[in-house]
Amino acid sequence: MADTNDQAQADGSTQEAATTDQQPDSLSGNGTSDEPVEGPWTQQSIDIPDGPLEETLSFETYPADQVEHDELDIDDDEVTDLLRSMLLQRRFENRCRQMYQRQKISGFLHLYIGQEAVSTGSVNAIRLGEDSIITAYRDHGMGLAMGMSPEEGMAELFGKKTGCSKGKGGSMHFFDAEQKMMGGHGIVGAHIPLAAGIGFAEKYKGTDNVCLCFFGDGAMHQGAFREACNLAGIYDLPVVFICENNQYAMGTAVDRAFAKPDLFKHGYNFDFPCSLASGMDVFSVNKAVQDHVENYARQGQPSMLEVRTYRYQGHSITDPAEYRAEGELEERKSEDAIVRLERYMTDRGLATEEEIEAMDEEVKQEVTDAIDAADAADFPDEEALYDDVYAQEDFPFTA
């Protein structure tokens, strides 16, 4: 993948004259590290060079239909697993919509339909339980992709005590500490600094684990995004910032909201390697995330990836999405990641249509079983209202 930093510096004198090329690379951020700059004092010149200053930028891209599974160290069985995961996410979300209509699910409900390749391709590129993932409120797909059972997920949505967050979090707050699924966060952009901290802890403890931080296009407007990127940059944290650009922040189209709608380029402001991938091909996503994770291992540098995708449903369950252009949804659906993977598998003899159909039926049954289990489970006991507010078990709550 392209390293924009190198590219910029290869441009020569302007970069060298304008800024220091010495970058502190430890946790300190104060100029002391294994290969220290001279001190905490500024290394920056105030002698302004003749202009214009020019930089050559380079960004890697990962279009759809460009990479095959065997090039990604994905074996044939794993391809089947990827399809199964994507089908599970879609069937789960479809039934969620129905369960909301039946008033089994309340509150906000943001469906992931259309974006399944992003979660699935990403999770396959990391070591589950070691590397971590944190995401925003459209989190069901990510939870399932990371191995959360549909029962735990559906029970959470039903508000049951068997839910992944014991019925305390609901749709926007899926957590699975064991798998290092760090949430599920409802305030737009607020989880991005947490990713910096999760990565900070990995570096502090000396592991080689990375944190994938997913956020939507809308979250990039928040100051939290900028602050987190800058901290990750100065402390060289093992974080891959992944903008899951599904084209709309609620109803505001991405190009109506950004002065610079090429979102991947925003990472350049932090000297991050940046790239752009299709979110409608699970292998494109997988390759991109693998490269970004490897980049950290090789360069010790955070990075930014924009994945372009599309949500088929409205922002939330109550949004009819009337802001779309006529025919837009149908056009995007023609790029559907599940249809693409099914075609890929049948074209290469990895599965027959019948086998795929049978797998889909199994997955549907799995979701139906999850609904039945969630329905049968109990709501939390009333005392649970006071559980898990504090680690302290005898906290004297104000009456």
Partner 1 sequence: MATLQFREALRAAMTEEMERDENIFLIGEEVAEYDGAYKVSKGMLDQFGSDRVIDSPISELGFSGLGIGAAMNGLRPIVEFMTFNFSFVAFDQVVNNASNIRYMSGGQFDLPIVFRGPNGAAGQLAATHSNSTEALYSNFPGLKVVSPSIPDDGKGLLKTAIREDDPVVFLESELMYGMKDEVSEESDYTIPLGEARVAREGDDVTIVAHSKSYHVAMEAADQLEEQGYEAEVIDPRTIKPLDIETIVQSVVKTNRLVVVDESNPFASIASEVTHQVQDRAFDYLDAPILRVTAPDTPAPYAPNLLDEYMPSAEETVDACRRVLYAE
Identity of the residue, 7 or 165, whose beta carbon is nearer to partner 1 in the bound complex: 165
- Binding marks (x or -) toward partner 1, 195..214, rule CB under 8 A? xxxxxxxx-xx---------
Min dist CB 10 to partner 1, Å, is 28
Identity of the residue, 17 or 389, whose beta carbon is nearer to partner 1 in the bound complex: 389
Site for partner 1 contains 398 (CB under 8 A): yes
Identity of the residue, 82 or 242, whose beta carbon is nearer to partner 1 in the bound complex: 242
Interface residue with partner 1 among 153, 163, 273, 279 (CB under 8 A) is: 163
Identity of the residue, 114 or 169, whose beta carbon is nearer to partner 1 in the bound complex: 169
Taking each helix axis from N to C terminus, what angle separates 150-157 and 353-376, rounded to the nearest 10 degrees?
50
Identity of the residue, 32 or 106, whose beta carbon is nearer to partner 1 in the bound complex: 32
Identity of the residue, 318 or 392, whose beta carbon is nearer to partner 1 in the bound complex: 392
Q: How many residues bind partner 1 (CB under 8 A)?
A: 60
- Binding marks (x or -) toward partner 1, 14..33, rule CB under 8 A? ------------xxxxx-xx
Site for partner 1 contains 307 (CB under 8 A): no
Sole window of 89-97, 99-107, 280-288, 388-396 interacting with partner 1 (rule: CB under 8 A):
388-396
Interface residue with partner 1 among 104, 173, 221, 265 (CB under 8 A) is: 173
Sole window of 184-192, 252-260, 275-283, 337-345 interacting with partner 1 (rule: CB under 8 A):
184-192
Sole window of 138-146, 231-239, 326-334, 349-357 interacting with partner 1 (rule: CB under 8 A):
231-239
Identity of the residue, 379 or 395, whose beta carbon is nearer to partner 1 in the bound complex: 395
Report whether 289 contacts 305 (CB < 8 A).
yes
Site for partner 1 contains 183 (CB under 8 A): yes
Site for partner 1 contains 297 (CB under 8 A): no
Give burial (CB, 10 Å; 0-12/13-18/19+) of 259. exposed
Min dist CB 250 to partner 1, Å, is 19
Interface residue with partner 1 among 190, 317, 359, 377 (CB under 8 A) is: 190
Binding site for partner 1 (CB under 8 A): 26-30, 32-33, 40, 132, 134, 163-169, 173, 175-177, 182-185, 187, 190-202, 204-205, 223-224, 227-228, 230-231, 234-235, 387-392, 395-399
